[in-house]
Amino acid sequence: MGATEQMVVVQILTLLCSFYSNEILFSSVTIPYINYETTRKDIAILFATITGIHYNCENVIVSIIAAKDKGYALGCVLPYALFFAMMYASSLSQLYSDYTAYFIVICGFHLTWVTAIYNLNSTAGAKFNWLFFEPWAFLAIVYLDNTGVLNRSGAIYAYIGFFMLTMVRYLLLMNNIVNQITSFMGLHFLKVKSKTKVAKSQ
């Protein structure tokens, strides 16, 4: 099962629970043959976890085996391994229990930026520079947060700064991609011709 099919199933389950009642998520269900009682929420999470691990591990293993440069192939996995390190390190923050969803967004947005660069390099046939200092900066912030060097407000500003920097770099990347594509095709992105020019051309 691919990532698209996996996400479709998970989103359908989430939408069904939203349309009807949140009680559906927490209602009990007994798994046949083993008579194990759990909730629909746990089943959805388990399904997403197992299929996600299978899909990603299969891609990583097949790619490394097929790669001519094994060192480079392993290096390309490093940013994604560091993402999991960032997610685990987040749980050590003094803010984690109050802002869990925000930590997921911060780490996820960083991964989105890295993936965009990776996809761009893959499409262009260019070599992917897998060395990123941002994960190490994030881990340093968590360390200062966890050890008390940064107080609560200082940690909040540090995480916001990390997120804003990632957002700016991501938007600049998207802007460059769009501008280069539209310039090559002779198009104007989000630019409306004036009525006088349109009338003259007609």
Model confidence pLDDT, tens digit, residues 11-34: 776 676 666 666 666 777 787 788
Tokens encoding 168? 């700016």
pLDDT at residue 8 in the model = 76
H-helix or E-strand containing 39? Answer: strand 36-39
In 3D space, the residue among 99, 71, 83 whose CA is nearest the CA of residue 159 turns out to be 99
pLDDT, residue 135, reads 94
pLDDT at position 196 is 59
What CA–CA distance (Å, rounded) separates 177 from 124?
12
Give dist(CA 177, CA 114) in Å, integer. Answer: 14
What's the angle, vertex CA 140, arms to CA 169 and CA 116, rounded to 5?
A: 25
Q: Is 194 left (phi over 0), alpha (psi -120 to 50) or beta?
A: beta
pLDDT digit string (tens) for the chain, length 202 residues: 566 676 677 677 667 666 666 666 677 778 778 888 888 778 777 877 787 788 778 888 888 888 888 888 888 889 989 999 999 999 999 999 999 989 999 999 999 999 899 888 888 888 888 889 999 999 999 999 999 999 999 999 999 999 999 999 999 998 888 888 888 777 776 665 665 554 555 5
